[in-house]
Amino acid sequence: MNFRSVVDDSRIFEFINDICDKHNKWIFKFELAQEIISCMRNQLANLFLNCLKIRKKVSANQNNDLLYEISPHAFKIYIERNENWHVFVFLQVLEDYLRSLNELRNDVEYAVSFGKYEVILDPAKIFEWSYNKNFEIIKILNTANNIINESFESVLILKAYDINKAIYFAKKIFQIYKQILLWIISVQEIELLDEFRSYQKLLARSIFPALEEFEKIVDSMRKIVLTSMENETDEVITYTIKFELQSKEEIDFEFDRLTKLFS
């Protein structure tokens, strides 16, 4: 039968055919309104049953407040509980947190800053500023090395899974990443004597290799886990990472040159 004369736009039939043919959906044909009601009752009953199952899984976690902070994708992994789900929840939460800093990462890349304008023209104070900045970033990197390797051991190796601990580790890694970005901006935005400009750029760029490694953490961890699953091995998964400042020789050379120049 041809119903094109009774619809506003005949493309509706193309849309219906597309749904039926390509999307592998269950299609129900109705002739009576009661049939629609009956079908909807069955679907709503199944939906409600699924909700009860989800509620049971969430309630099993005594401290479930943190579950409301994670993304729908991470929550879906938590509910489905497939193989190594505890690992993939951690990785998804971490990925979501890191992605939230994309704008700040672009600010670093393009040296965009809206912070307080600060100028240091006294060489002695610039050297003091340099010492402080070096101490800050070394402390941040040491914390990063400790927390990332500890999180991998706790969540991936030992599999002593606790979603609250996983979210805690993800938050800490996120905070460290943010601190690195803010540190770079704080180095880039300050105004120094012209003689110190080269040193300033070297100092800011010295953390970039570590920053790039930091941004590969999720993919690296996920690859290790997936490879282990594919090989069906019971071997202990190992993963270690160590962040360090780069271009140290160049920085030291430039620093020594400036020290001699202003001594």
Per residue in 205-228, pLDDT (tens digit) is 999 988 888 888 889 888 888 887
The phi and psi torsions of 22 (rounded to 5 degrees) equal -110, -25
Band the pLDDT of 22: cuts 50, 70, 90: low
* Per-residue b or e along 145-176, where b marks 16 or more CB atoms closer than 10 Å to that residue's CB: bebbeebbebbbeeeebebeebbebbebbbeb
pTM of the predicted structure, to 2 decimals: 0.77
First to last CA, the chain: 96
The closest alpha carbon to 118, from 109, 110, 126, belongs to: 126
61 pLDDT above the threshold of 70? no
Whether the Cβ atoms of residue 159 and residue 89 lie closer than 8 Å to each other = no
Contacts of 166 (CB under 8 A, 6+ apart): 86, 89, 90, 93, 155
Band the pLDDT of 181: cuts 50, 70, 90: very high
| pLDDT, tens only, 104-125 | 999 999 888 887 788 999 999 9
Over pLDDT 70: what percentage of the chain?
88
| pLDDT, tens only, 129-161 | 999 999 999 999 999 988 888 887 777 655 556
